[in-house]
Structure 1
Amino acid sequence: MSGVALRVLIVEDEVFIALELECLLEEAGHVPVGVATRSAEAIALARDLAPDVALVDIHLADGPTGVAVAQALSAQAGTVVLFTTANAKRVPPDFAGAVGIIAKPYSERVIRAALAYVAGRYHGGAATGAPDGVVLAP
């Protein structure tokens, strides 16, 4: 654990993946603040809850809208976006404002390392190197 408990919004339409992520986050000492399955819901939750991090899938219940969600959330001060997707080719070259991509299927180790990296780089935690299993934005 990085020492910094991050508030994390999960943007994922697969219920079992979202539940697994919630448990993993709690076990790692982070706080899942909500789960969104659609783009409008994700944007509204982020506005209301001001998460430190949003884990965003590319394909949501309302279609391939994760890129638009990432753009909206990354424009919000204090929110860092990481894509969690099996469709990394759909991420635009500018990463739509996200700081990186966690490829599915991912492991608990990769999620923990990615969040430790975000905590260190963006939220005053102990700095860590670029995590294995995460493609960082250019």
Structure 2
Amino acid sequence: MVVLNPYLTFRDNARTALEFYRGVLGGSLDITTFGSMPEMGYDPAESELVMHAQLTTDDGMVLMASDTPRGVEYRQPQGVSVSLSGSESDRLHAVWDALSDDANVTIALAPAPWGGEFGMLVDRFGISWLVAIDN
């Protein structure tokens, strides 16, 4: 079995972002901090930053993330989007509404020429999302 999962990187707010996404998507969140792995040799001032986090929803979605330590170059994600799609209209509308809070909506969620609904946004953490709802 091979699994493909989005893995997001942040500068200092991975925990805040993943807690937000857990509120949006539901599920369980497991977080490992740099401080829990002192043998990795990171700055003790960064001990509470996220070395690895995994959000697993009840319906099987997995989203992973980490903070980028100060000694490592960080570039805000670009050219990649997290895509959510399906026929569960109520769930996807609720996710869209929650993600839209303090987001830059680039294409409003609306009927798409190919059918269903489609929208795009960049959330408050700078992550690009696509939502497609099959009707």
TM-score by length of 2: 0.31
Indicate the structure (1 or 2) with the bigger Cα radius of gyration. Answer: 2
Structure with greater proportional helix content: 1
TM-score normalised by L of structure 1: 0.30
